[in-house]
Chain A
Amino acid sequence: MPGVTRLSVRDIRKSFGAHEVLSGISLEAQDGDVISVLGASGSGKSTFLRCINLLEIADAGEIWVDGEQIRMIHGSGRSRPASQKQVDHIRSELGMVFQSFNLWSHMTILQNIIEGPVHVLKRPRAEAVSEAEALLEKVGIADKRHVYPAHLSGGQQQRAAIARALAMKPKVMLFDEPTSALDPELVGEVLRVMRALAEEGMTMLVVTHEMSFARNVSNRVVFMREGLVECTGTPDEMFGDGASPAFRQFIGHFAN
């Protein structure tokens, strides 16, 4: 359904102590958008992503997922969500892929993937298993389904983590530097999976340092600097002449 707003974030602010990390960020993702969020380390891009699924609690601002606003209590002191139930529900609609995979070490790959569908979504086990096997096929590690995470390479673990997130049938996928912890030769296999997802029309928000992904796969690029969106546009606009000097300087580092 193109034109449907899947994710809408309005004026998010977040401080750690006296240090303001996010100074008012807004962003909107329509169905099928693939948005790359770029920025130097410390620009707040990971915190921004974590605020969206409430792994960090923003001090102010609104978050809407698929038309539903996350209810917050901004009283005196720290903000908190009004309902844990709603938080759990929203999180189950947002797939999160972490920099360091974060697979559950005591479960096999298959068990990792069916955990959410069976225990959070309460779906029949047999159904969850057959869907999980299809997902494993898709990310190319079907032969590893009975293996424990510690026995896989980083690239395989990250693909399993993507499958785990997809198993929840999320409305939006959030990627937090999914290739930063990988050896260079393993980056490609993960990017291929992400690219295939994008081509299927998945709505994705990707914090990354992979310029080729930002340029060739995403349809929008957001550049963050010092807790603010410095500039945003299509890849052509951003990587052409239209970008800000700061962004040009930023991508200059990667050219070298």
Chain B
Amino acid sequence: MDFAFLSETTMTLLAAVPTTLALFSLSVAIGGLLALLIVWMRVGGNPVLSAFAKGYIFVFRGSPLLIQMFLVFYGLAQFKVIRDGPLWPLLREPFVCAVLSLALCTAGYSAEIFRGGIRSVSPREIEAARSIGMSGFLLVRRIIAPIAFRYALPSYSTEVVLMMKSTSLASLVTVWEVTGVAQRLISHSYRTMEVFLCAAIIYLILNFIVLQAMALLERSLSKHLRAPPVKP
């Protein structure tokens, strides 16, 4: 084993971790908010908004992320309106395009996951809230959302890990995150296996941390599902 090469490779890859993490956290945060908006449209009762949300979910879950990302990165630049528009300084940045398409995509998947959570909230608990005079946003904020989020959490954890992996696609629109750097190292050195191993370990550690954080969150939200405390 060539430890010098391995450590050098690891250091080079680690330098790209902040980019990966920035892509990940921004797209999960923006995608999560967008998902809330879409799921609100989907279940809100307005047929036009609901149809739009359905279409959104269908398109972003049914087509590959890569083609969505290329559409944003190459496709938008084709239009003069956008090139002359106020957002162009942002939209010309590969990083912004990558975050945008990652967020748009995860919003589709997350909306569907949140909808599943909402559907598993017992109608009786909602009725009890209505009976004391709750409605609208208060009802959603205090009763529906906390229960639904708890139900949705296991699937949402899976989606978040998938997002960590999906950030690798940003390398194909010239954002140099971990996978992109790994690819460059491979094509320079032809030592595929070693570079792969280093990069793989980095991703596995990142996923492990994310999963632990989600598990912690799940634990703190499931006090009511655990066995009753033993009497002192």
Contacts and interface: CB of A to CB of B under 8 A. Distances in A.
A120 interface: yes
Interface residues of B, number: 24
Contacts of B76: none
Contacts of B124: 98, 100, 102
Nearest to A107: B224
A53 interface: yes
Given A106-B146, A151-B228, A98 B127 contact: yes
B42 interface: no
A168 B228 contact: no
Interface string A112-141: 000110011000000000000000000000
Nearest to A99: B124
Given A55-B127, A104-B143, A91 B133 contact: yes
Contacts of B128: 96, 98, 102-104, 161, 164
A115 B142 contact: yes
Interface string A48-80: 000001010000000000000000000000000
Contacts of A91: 130-133
Given A98-B124, A100-B124, A115-B142, A105 B134 contact: no
Interface stretch (A31-39, A82-90, A195-203, A227-235): A82-90
Interface string B135-157: 11010001100110010000000
A148 B131 contact: no
B133 A168 contact: yes
Contacts of B146: 106
A151 B225 CA distance: 9
Contacts of B223: 148
A88 B134 contact: yes
Interface in B179-232: 221, 223-225, 228
Nearest to B128: A102
A88 B131 contact: no
A148 B221 CA distance: 12
A149 interface: yes
B77 interface: no
Contacts of A27: none
B224 A165 contact: no
Nearest to B136: A84
Given A88-B133, A106-B150, 20 more contacts: A55-B127, A84-B135, A87-B133, A89-B133, A91-B131, A91-B133, A94-B131, A96-B132, A98-B128, A102-B124, A104-B128, A105-B125, A106-B146, A106-B147, A115-B142, A116-B134, A150-B225, A161-B128, A164-B132, A168-B133
Interface of B: 122, 124-125, 127-136, 138, 142-143, 146-147, 150, 221, 223-225, 228
